[in-house]
Structure 1
Amino acid sequence: MSCEQNEILTLPDDLWSYSDDVFYDFVKEYVGEIETEILKIQRIKNVQTLLQVPDVCFIADDMTFMVRAGVRFNIQQFINLLKLQFESRLINVNVGPSATTTPIENKKSDQCLCNLINIDTENNQQESKLFINILLRNLLKNMKRSKNNFQFDPIVMKFSSVFRGLAGRNAYEFIRINMLGSLPSDTTLKNYDENINFQLKECEFRFGQMKDYLGSIKSQYVFSSEDATGVISCVSYDCNTDCFTGFTTLLNNNDLPVINHFKTNSYNQLEQWFEDFDKSTLVNVHLIEPILTDVTLLAHSRPYIISAYGIDNKHSASDVIRRWIYIYNQCKEQNINVVGFSIDCDSRYFKAMRICLGFFSRTPHVDLLTGNDNLLTIDIPSNWRFFF
């Protein structure tokens, strides 16, 4: 047995599942600390990425290396060992059974995917969380079931829902039909979306769902943002809410949108609405951006839509402030701390900010802030030295 083959045996079998800190710790122990820092700087976080990079070390235009030759040699030797291990794995997977192999062993060797992924038990904790392993394990289990008895992992269901939304129904069906058992049907996905309350109702503020989402990522501090973007004016019927959408949203006395206002069974009433109300030219969206205090590899800060509705271009700065006050108070009731409001430089948003700060601006007719000492108070942890 050659020296290189002996070194291959020292590499762990599950090395190809290492990623991020686990991969860096192994490289640091096996190759060296300097080599590990070079990989970290270039965001090479697993074996697959390392083998696809043409040259790990930095090379100037005149082909001179900007690292020591010994460091580059160590990294290149490590890459060569990984390539040899990869080739040996391919040989072990593709080699045919020997003449002395029993029928049971023949059956096991034919199922090469099953040898790489144990479909009955979990491998190590980190490898089992990789999406490709979850997808393949789910597919292999469905291959043993009938078509009308397919079952899908929650992670696969979530991926399929997002994939269909991004790629479209036709592209999704093309992939699903050609990979039978890997992705759920369109009907199954529709039921899944309804069960998770995926649909957003116009004018509804989803503070309850927002609290559940923030609880899932362990966040109690958020930024609130509001912005409007132009849309094609069109009135349509929503069969789920039995309402017409596309009219300019009616506001109540607190300048909040009225839910399910355009709901009728009368054709005359609908005709009257077309005469009395303009079609919305903008869609106004309220977002909540979580701030994570305990950052982990599994938690990510993603914005959450709490409300969306159609508007025209006739709202004022006082309307904006009333909505901010409403969002702030509702979040306080849910034990969520709003630490700031994020807006663009629209004149009404900008004036609303100046009014709240008392920055050379005030409302001559409506007093919104006097007497409310705790209103819009920013309550943040004492260790946030960077915030102010």
Structure 2
Amino acid sequence: MSTLKLPSPILSISSSDLFDLIRSHCGQEVLDIVIAQKIPDIQTLLRVNDLFTLVYLPTDEFRELKEKVAVQLHDGTWSVLIGFQARVDELMNALREQTRLDENAYYPSSNITGRNAYRFVSLNVPGFLPSITTIKKRLANSSFQDTTGVIPKVTYDSMSNSFIGFDTPLADGQPLPDQHRTDFYAELQKWLEEKQTSTFINVHMLQPLLNTSSDRIPSPFLLSAYGIAGTYTAEDVLNRWLWIYEETKKKGIRIIGFSTDCDSRYLRSLRIASGFFAFNIDHPFRYHTDAFKANIPSHWHWFYLQPSQLCLFIQVSA
């Protein structure tokens, strides 16, 4: 265990305090390396595998920085001085250890799932969850699809010159358009015999926020709609959300949150993305540089979400 004394929660440390910590423990030379590599905060620092990557780059652009922390060998390669390497390793290990300690202090064990998770929440937040009997009745009477059911039917669409009604293939969660175009009857017959038809329509809507300079409530608009057969996974949902976020960001639009209903794959996606009883599952959603930070008081033992969140999530009733 490290003997370094670090603030808690460590993820809430400011950039200036982080730089002071690096300077005091590792030296100004290492801090210069950090700044040169555009590492702005602790979240970015913790994702770095080797802080001295810059030293090994085959360029003379950073030669002055390299000479402060490393020596150049006869073959032209660079070797970091062992003293700097040891201090950096000690600091990085201490930061990661403190992060784990903070998680254990703020959140319950990540092994609490299923009925145990239900009991844990019920004991700590009385009245927050319905009874198990009520939950079972709702499960028995609900399909829990974040989609609209349709009658399976394959038709020809003259506008797109393709056949619609088949299960839409996904690539990293994104629907692939125009996948069922053919000029051959034999190929169509093969599709009808082998491919699944869509039993649901997956619809994605965007709801703009209210403009403070206007009293008009903006109307939602359709982002996409496509047929599916229910074979997608929670990973598909997470990848699609992340893709939607990144693509809208390129257009100057900031996605604030995602809303869905009780489909189990969507609920699992909500848990993974927000870190709700899913601490040991990694996904780029959890470590995005655009994530906002919530300074959670240490005595909020009932607050189970992580302090770093990219978006808000709303689970609506079915």
Higher-Rg structure is 1
Question: TM-score, normalized by length of structure 1?
Answer: 0.36
Name the structure with the higher helix share.
Answer: 1
Q: Which has the higher contact order (CA 8 A, sep 6+)?
A: 2
